[in-house]
Structures are given as structure tokens and as C-alpha cells.
């Protein structure tokens, strides 16, 4: 992505040599303004372009940008989350099966993001406390969230199948999983330890392109997203949903049940309460809870 933005920047200013990159602040400002005014890009797209060009000057050219870049800012679009009713959630889940169904139940039952769900390890689920520990979630933050009691038996069944996979891998001379940061060097045997295994492993082992080790990675999120789309079509759902829609529904339905907003903020792992507050608008009936005048006509 960065290389593409740098190429667009170079073409925009018709640069032909390295010296043309001089006076970066002024040129970046003109490029970003054009993206916002003529290109009508989203704020996130403009930010990515800015980051790419800062990287170019700071890390590649080793010429940090010292002056202020005062480009016209793209308007930030506020997206209203897609929320399912309880009946819609039940309908979609009922036509799913296997691991994708179990993961979607976790998304809705615990408010997890899709990557947080597929990266769960055996040690992260506490059945006694009915608690899921999310490690290194968005923003590299750990948090606790609730574990639905109804999910305990199917999760334990899943673990029994994972245990068989793990024992087969160990017998074949594999059985290791990826460990974050420097844990693999600090605890050499931890990668093969049962507690560190993925709760939802992939069907096949694969070769890690960086280390060259043969490992069993976690299930691909694309498998879950594809299963969600198929299920939505089967129940003729008119809403366009993704894995994240179940997290939105988790928060909204908790609010409807009377759970306080601060608790929901903690369960979702939001840094800012304003992010969580969007769900207070979703639960209003109609536009901001205002009844339509059409309903007053006889």
C-alpha cells in the first residue's frame, strides 16, 4: 500500500529524479489536498497516504519533515453499525454448523472481534469463572469478557478434537504453534505445550515462511466470513452483515437488557466511551426515537 501511494505521489508531481522529492512538505500538502478535494477520498484513505509519504521521507530518504503540513482534510464519515435482531441472530446461527458456527456464537456471546476469536488459545477460556481472556486485542490491550454458559459443552467438545490433532502432530514431530513476541526464545518448550495451542486450529499444518518451521496455525478468518455470507443468503437476510455485525449486536442487546455503558465499554475493549456510545443511538426506535407524523394520520 505504501509503495502504491508513493508511486501516485511521484506521478502526481511528474517527478523524474531524486532531487524532485525536495520541498516535501509543500508537495505532500498539495497531493493530500487533491485527494480530498478532487479525489473525494475517505479520511482513512487520506491518512494512509500521509503515513506512506512520512515513511518515505523519514525512513527511506532520511529527511524528516520539519514544517507543518496543512492540507485540506477529507471528511470523516460516521458509519452506523449493522445490528441484527435476536431473531435474525438465531436464524443465521441455526443454519451454520461446525467450527464457523461455534466461532460466530463466540462473536455474539462474548463480543469478540473475528481475529480475537480465531487467535484464542486453550488457556484463554476459564469455564469456572465463565470468562474469556482476550490477549493483545486492538491496540495491543488485554481484557476479560463474558463466556456464555451455553457454550461451555460445545467448547469442551471442540477441545477434545483439538487434543487429538495436537497428539497426532506431536507424534509426527510437529505440534508447535506460533508464540508472540520473544516468548519462544524465553520458553523453548511452550510452543508445544497444550495450554498454548489454538482453540480453533487449521485443518492442515503449514510451513511458517519466516522461520521455516512446520506448524498448525489457527483457522483462516475468511472461512468464517464465507460461512456467514452463505448463512445470510440461506435465511434470506436483507441486511449486509459480516463477522463484526455479531459484535455490534452483542453490545446493542446488552444495552437493551439494561447493562450499563461502562461495563459494555470494558467488555468490548474500547479506549474511549464515545466509541461505545454509538450503540445508544442504535437502540432508539425510528430516527432518534421520534415517532413519524405519518402514524398520526387516520
End-to-end CA distance of the chain: 58
* Candidate list 105, 119, 248, 270, residue with the active-site label: 270
**Following CA atoms 91, 93, 95, 101 in sequence, which dihedral angle do they give, to the nearest 10 degrees?**
180
Using the Cα atoms of residue 58, residue 59, residue 61 and residue 62 in order, give the sign of their dihedral.
Answer: positive
What's the DSSP call for residue 219?
A: P
Q: How far apart are CA 216 and CA 46, in angstroms?
A: 38
Choosing from 113, 121, 248, 253, the catalytic residue is 113
Candidates 123, 174, 192, 244; catalytic one: 244
Active site residue 113: yes
CA dihedral 92, 98, 103, 108 (to 10 degrees): 30
257 assigned to active site: no
218 is catalytic: no
Asked if 84 contacts 241 with a C-beta cutoff of 8 angstroms, the reply is yes
174 is catalytic: no
Helix (H, G, I), strand (E, B), or coil: what is residue 140? coil
Task: State the greatest distance between any 2 C-alpha atoms of the chain, in Å, as a whole number.
Answer: 77
| Residue 251: closest CA among 270, 223, 228 | 270
Residue 234 bears catalytic tag: no
- Cα dihedral: 262, 268, 273, 276 (round 10): -100
Query: Which residue in 183, 204, 207 sits closest to 195, CA to CA?
Result: 183
**Rounded-to-integer distance, Cα 258 and Cα 15, Å:** 59
Considering 108, 178, 198, 279, which one is annotated as catalytic?
279
User: In the 8-state DSSP scheme, what is residue 180?
Assistant: S
Q: Which of 138, 143, 192, 229 is labelled catalytic?
A: 138
Say which of 27, 105, 121, 247 is annotated catalytic: 247
CB 113 within 8 A of CB 247: yes
**141 in active site:** no
How crowded is residue 197: how many other Cβ atoms within 10 Å of its Cβ? Answer: 23
Residues marked active site are found at 113, 138, 244, 247, 270, 279
Amino acid at each position: 500500500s505504501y509503495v502504491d501511494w508513493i508511486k501516485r505521489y511521484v506521478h502526481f508531481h511528474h517527478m523524474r529524479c531524486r532531487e524532485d522529492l525536495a520541498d516535501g512538505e509543500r508537495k505532500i500538502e498539495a497531493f493530500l489536498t487533491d485527494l480530498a478535494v478532487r479525489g473525494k477520498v475517505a479520511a482513512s484513505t487520506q491518512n494512509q497516504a500521509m503515513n506512506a509519504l512520512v515513511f518515505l521521507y523519514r525512513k527511506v530518504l532520511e529527511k524528516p519533515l520539519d514544517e507543518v503540513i496543512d492540507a485540506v482534510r477529507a471528511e470523516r464519515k460516521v458509519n452506523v453499525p449493522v445490528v441484527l435482531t435476536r431473531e435474525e441472530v438465531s436464524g443465521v446461527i441455526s443454519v451454520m454448523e461446525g467450527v464457523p458456527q461455534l466461532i460466530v456464537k463466540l462473536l455474539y456471546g462474548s463480543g469478540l472481534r473475528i481475529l480475537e476469536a480465531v487467535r484464542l488459545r486453550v488457556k484463554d477460556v476459564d469455564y469456572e469463572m465463565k470468562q474469556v481472556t482476550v490477549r493483545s486485542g486492538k491496540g495491543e490491550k488485554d481484557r476479560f469478557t463474558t463466556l456464555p454458559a451455553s457454550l461451555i459443552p460445545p467448547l469442551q467438545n471442540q477441545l477434545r478434537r483439538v487434543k487429538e490433532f495436537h497428539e497426532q502432530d506431536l507424534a509426527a514431530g510437529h505440534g508447535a504453534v506460533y508464540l508472540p513476541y520473544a516468548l519462544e526464545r524465553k520458553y523453548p518448550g511452550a510452543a508445544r505445550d497444550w495450554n498454548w495451542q489454538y482453540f480453533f486450529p487449521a485443518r492442515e499444518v503449514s510451513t511458517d515462511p519466516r522461520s521455516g518451521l512446520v506448524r498448525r496455525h489457527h483457522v483462516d478468518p475468511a472461512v468464517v466470513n464465507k460461512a456467514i455470507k452463505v448463512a445470510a443468503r440461506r435465511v434470506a437476510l436483507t441486511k449486509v452483515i459480516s463477522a463484526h455485525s455479531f459484535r455490534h449486536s452483542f453490545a446493542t442487546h446488552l444495552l437493551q437488557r439494561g447493562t450499563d455503558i461502562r461495563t459494555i465499554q470494558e467488555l468490548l475493549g474500547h479506549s474511549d466511551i464515545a466509541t461505545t456510545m454509538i450503540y445508544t443511538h442504535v437502540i432508539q426506535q425510528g430516527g432518534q426515537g421520534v415517532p413519524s407524523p405519518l402514524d398520526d394520520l387516520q
